Amino acid sequence: MGAARIVAFTGAGISAESGIPAFRGPAGFWRNYPPEKLASPQALPSDPRLVWEWYDWRCQVIHKAEPNPGHRALAEIERRARDQFALVTQNVDGLHDRAGSYRIVKLHGDIWQVRCVVCGTEQRNEQVPLEPLPPRCSCGGLLRPAVVWFGKTLPAGAWEQAVEAAQRAEVFLVIGTSALVYPAAGLVQMARHSGARVAIVNPDPTPADELADWILRGQAGEILPRLL
Ligand code: BJW
Ligand code: ZN
């Protein structure tokens, strides 16, 4: 993974053309709650049903969605470039896997995994819709999605692999992310400072634009297939 010359770093925008709303911007607020209020360790104990309604709604949307040409282009780049390519994603939706990407560094977890807050048991749960809400473990404890909430550290192995990939990249593609959420967004600076050329694929400006060698304004599903 570490020796890859091309590294793609993706965010929610790559799944927008699959019909999955991104987190920020007008479409990103669910029932007027910003993601910081729901993707938080404090939210679950205070209102588990509300948090799980959000996740259940998202799982239903993701379940119906299909990978789009942007996801498929990255899978094809990996197929052609093999170990010269690394994919680091902030997404939890699993669409990169379904598009055929093979080696994926998942920085923020996986929405289809659940973990018990009492006994820590982790399991896959692809039931949509989930019934009853909130779901519970066989031990009676509350289940939570195995994703990274605000204020929590990223999975150590995944973060180390991402840092190594960023530091060794020759080309670092930043696709469909607002580059606002750290430490993930810091990978762009790391790649740049280690000598990578940075390309951004996004219809809108982001704070990472100032680090970019190339800014490709537009939708990932239109731009990425043209890079093949
Ligand atoms: C398209 C498109 C198309 C649309 N084609 N593009 C340093 C500085 C400042 C703050 C911090 C810092 N270090 C830590 C923090 C705090 C915090 C943070 O960053 N806050 C900021 C919001 C200010 N970070 C954390 O808490 C992290 N943990 C941490 O740092 O631990 C250490 C620590 C411990 C204890 C105390 C303090 C620190 C954890 C962050 C976890 C983020 N989790 C989420 C939820 C995951 C689970 C779930 O899915 O429910 O991850 S939040 C959400 O944001 C999700 C995403 O992965 C993440 C990034 O969002 P993303 O992917 O960029 O989406 P959007 O919606 O923001 O942007 C979409 C983009 O696509 C837009 O630009 C569009 O234009 C574009 N687009 N259509 C291409 N077709
Ligand atoms: Zn349990």
Judge whether 127 and 148 are in contact, CB under 8 Å. Answer: no
Secondary structure (3-state) at 173: strand
Please state the rounded mean pLDDT for residues 177-202. Answer: 98
- Output the six-digit token pair for 70: 């942007």
Please state the rounded mean pLDDT for residues 178-194. Answer: 98
- Closest residue to atom 56 of ligand 1, CA basis: 90
Distance CA 224, CA 47 (A): 40
- Output the six-digit token pair for 3: 């020796």
- Closest residue to atom 75 of ligand 1, CA basis: 204
Distance CA 177, CA 194 (A): 21
Q: Domain count of the chain? A: 2
- Same domain, yes or no, for 124 and 182? no
Q: Which of 94, 125, 147 is the last residue of a domain?
A: 147
**Mean per-residue pLDDT over the chain, rounded:** 95
Judge whether 14 and 91 are in contact, CB under 8 Å. Answer: yes
Query: Does residue 23 register a pLDDT over 50?
Result: yes
Q: What is the domain extent for residue 197? A: 1-20+67-108+154-228
| Atom nearest to 223 CA in ligand 1 | 5
Q: Percentage of residues in the chain with pLDDT exceeding 90?
A: 92
CA 48 to ligand 2 center in whole angstroms: 16
- Same domain, yes or no, for 123 and 91? no
Query: Does residue 3 register a pLDDT over 70?
Result: no
- Same domain, yes or no, for 104 and 116? no
pLDDT in tens, 92-124: 999 999 999 999 999 999 999 999 999 999 999
- Same domain, yes or no, for 160 and 206? yes
Please state the rounded mean pLDDT for residues 127-147. Answer: 96
Query: Does the reported pTM lie above 0.75?
Result: yes
Longest dimension (CA), the chain: 53
Q: What is the CATH number of the domain that holds 55?
A: 3.30.1600.10
- Same domain, yes or no, for 160 and 89? yes
CA 133 to ligand 1 center in whole angstroms: 26
Q: What is the CATH number of the domain that holds 6?
A: 3.40.50.1220
Please state the rounded mean pLDDT for residues 41-55. Answer: 95
Residue 2 has a pLDDT of 46
- Same domain, yes or no, for 161 and 218? yes
- Same domain, yes or no, for 99 and 162? yes
Query: Does residue 53 register a pLDDT over 90?
Result: yes
Which residues, in sequence order, are bridge partners of residue 10? 89, 175
Please state the rounded mean pLDDT for residues 51-61. Answer: 96
Question: Of residues 63, 96, 108, 193, which has the active-site annotation?
Answer: 108
Distance CA 51, CA 34 (A): 12
CA 82 to ligand 2 center in whole angstroms: 39
- Same domain, yes or no, for 178 and 214? yes
pLDDT in tens, 73-97: 999 999 999 889 999 999 999 999 9
- Same domain, yes or no, for 78 and 133? no
Q: Which residue has the higher pLDDT, 36 or 64?
A: 64
Residue 132 has a pLDDT of 94
- Same domain, yes or no, for 159 and 224? yes
71 flagged as catalytic: no
- Indicate if ligand 1 lies below 6 Å from the C-beta of 195: no
Q: Tell me, rounded to whole angstroms, the distance of Cα 73 from its chain centroid.
A: 17
- Same domain, yes or no, for 100 and 187? yes
Residue 218's φ and ψ, nearest 5 degrees, are 155, -170
Q: Which of 121, 147, 173 is the last residue of a domain?
A: 147
Q: How confident is the model at residue 70 (pLDDT cuts 50, 70, 90)?
A: very high
Residues with CB under 5 A from ligand 2 (ion): 116, 118-119, 121, 137, 139, 141
Distance CA 156, CA 36 (A): 22
